[in-house]
A and B are shown apart, each in its own frame.
Chain A
């Protein structure tokens, strides 16, 4: 298996201060929007959505 790579981070406005760093970060307004944006990003980047359980989703290509 090749190494896995975090491609993007998606979170909502409330959790904004939980994320930072050198990865593209997408701030959304609602859980619904977060869900849609993450699904779309995963399709576009051929990656997979993972949920960290604290309101943050990451796109990882395995």
Chain B
């Protein structure tokens, strides 16, 4: 094998495995199996190879060659826009839309994971050069794990208390407690809401959570994930059964009404708790002095 060949190979393997480890199918069913898997594994492999390649290049003092890393960065930015475009394209086929903020979050995640693969293989390569292959593999694995661990964002359960409640029906209006959320003119639809409708109150724990939950993208993401996890009785042309999320502007509590396919209240609560908080919808007024003072 040519010089540094085994270093490259080790870096490539660790980086690709790191990317594969981060590709997992969950309830969001994204990326789809097996085609998106093939795409992202291949891109991850390229990222890993570039990361591993950076080490011998530096050792040979070919500093100009480091510019190919910028090409890699460009390539990963393309990954983000490809993901964004394809998700925006299939958005029309979703009964409950993901929303632009959620799509942006997913696209960003796919870009970032390529960098993580690149960094893992870079570290593996460096350590391989200065010590032995097994320490390098171990260090690369630990890097991938740590990076993946710290990339995990908060979930709704971390920033809010969730209550599953009954919905209230007042005449033709439905809502939760005093908050009117929807006017329904059909007897049949009202009956369905009265018998099967479930209300959720998401109570923010602090001012940061209040600002985050008020974000429209975050609300749409909650509705989308809830519709997937618990199922929603909904079809095209049946707007009267559309799930709704409305803010109680006095208390900042986010109220959700929907008709679940699985009316199991314990699991509805658990489902809402594990929905991710979107990166782009996070606001932190408490990080500022004014925000903190205004909050007391």
Contact = CB atoms under 8 A, between A and B. Distances in A.
Interface of A: 35, 38-39, 42-43, 46-51, 53, 57-58, 61-62
Main secondary structure of the interface of A (DSSP, over half): mixed
12 contacts: A35-B186, A38-B185, A42-B186, A43-B237, A48-B184, A49-B184, A49-B186, A49-B240, A51-B171, A51-B172, A51-B185, A62-B242
A39 B186 contact: yes
A51 B236 contact: no
Contacts of B189: 49
Contacts of B237: 43, 46
B183 interface: yes
Contacts of A49: 184-186, 189, 240
Interface of B: 171-172, 183-189, 236-237, 239-240, 242
Contacts of A38: 185-186
B239 A51 contact: no
Contacts of A43: 237
Contact of A46 (B172, B188, B236): B236
A32 B238 CA distance: 21
Contacts of B171: 51, 53
Contact of A39 (B172, B183, B188, B242): B188
Given A48-B239, A49-B240, A62-B239, A35 B187 contact: yes
B188 A51 contact: no
Enumerate the 9 nearest inter-chain pairs by beta-carbon distance, A residue then B residue, closest first.
Answer: A49-B185, A51-B185, A48-B239, A51-B172, A46-B237, A50-B185, A57-B185, A49-B186, A50-B183
B225 to A, nearest CB: 19
A47 B171 CA distance: 21
A41 to B, nearest CB: 11
Contact of A53 (B172, B186, B187, B236): B172
